[in-house]
Amino acid sequence: MNLLLLEDSDFTAANRVTLRGRRLQHILEVHQLASGASVRAGRLNGAIGSALVEHISGSEAQLRVDLTREPPPPLPLTLIVALPRPKMIKRIVQTIATMGVKKLVFLNSYRVEKSYWQSPLLEPEKLHQQLLLGLEQGVDTLLPDIRLVKRFKPFVEDELPQLCAGKRALVAHPRAASTCPEPLAQETVLVIGPEGGFIDYEIDKLIQAGCQSVHLGPRILRVETAVPVLLGKLFPITGW
């Protein structure tokens, strides 16, 4: 936990919070904070600063906060990912929150198994928990938005052209593709396929919607690896 992330329900006054549960145990056991110590803190969807421990015990902590700094700027990106295997959902959601992605669409495709959509990890509360962990890691407070889109064709035909209009629009696909472009702080739509890639029909539809097919080289990466690699390739570090 690189940031103690505070929610509105934690506040007992404008600059005071009470903590219990997971975050309390973390600052006790990992940070080993005692009264008088301070820790970096931020308010969910708000400012970042510090929190001074005024009282702490095994059941609760009372802190005084001073939050004056804006969170880091978000990546200018809409990320669209074919729904991965359930055990990879946690990793991808945490990764995008850590790296500053604020718009994520999980999309159906031919190679996405129907059972994936039944995963309890897609429940709003479960996704919210993983987003919080990612924000804590990345020292960010702005909560990303996640959409679940179960119908490929209507989304690609009716919504994607408008999303791509006036933006750099890319689909990561290893065949018949250009080399991934250089880093650029530009509004971007990035589409990443499932294990095994999009089928030809889907690639054709994505290109018709305005996406350019790009690749990362001769090696084929798993989705959970491709996500951070592509984000690092496409956006300058100073933009985070």
Gap between the Cα atoms of 193 and 91, Å rounded: 16
Residue type for position 97: A
Distances (CA, A) of 222 to 43, 155, 188: 34, 24, 21
- Residue 73 Cα to chain centre, angstroms: 13
b/e burial code for range 56-75 (CB count within 10 A of at least 16 → b): beeeebbbebebeeebeebb
Q: Give yes or no on whether 4-69 and 77-239 have one common fold.
A: no
Residue type for position 126: K
Gap between the Cα atoms of 157 and 155, Å rounded: 6
Percent of the chain with pLDDT strictly greater than 90:
85
Q: How confident is the model at residue 238 (pLDDT cuts 50, 70, 90)?
A: very low
Say what the pLDDT of residue 176 is: 64
Domain 77-239: give its CATH code: 3.40.1280.10
Interstrand relation of 4-6 and 38-43 (parallel, antiparallel or unpaired)? parallel
Q: Domain limits of the chain?
A: 4-69, 77-239
Helix 223-234 to helix 86-99 angle (10° resolution) is 20
Say what the pLDDT of residue 239 is: 45
Domain 4-69: give its CATH code: 2.40.240.20
Q: How confident is the model at residue 209 (pLDDT cuts 50, 70, 90)?
A: very high
pLDDT for 240 beyond 70: no
CB 148 within 8 A of CB 104: no
Give the position of tokens 């804006």.
70
Reported as a single tens digit per residue, the pLDDT across 164-182 is 999 999 999 876 678 888 8
Q: How many helices (H) and strands (E) does the chain have?
A: 7, 13
Q: Stretch 38-54: mean pLDDT, rounded? A: 97
> What predicted TM-score, i.e. pTM, was given to this entire model?
0.92
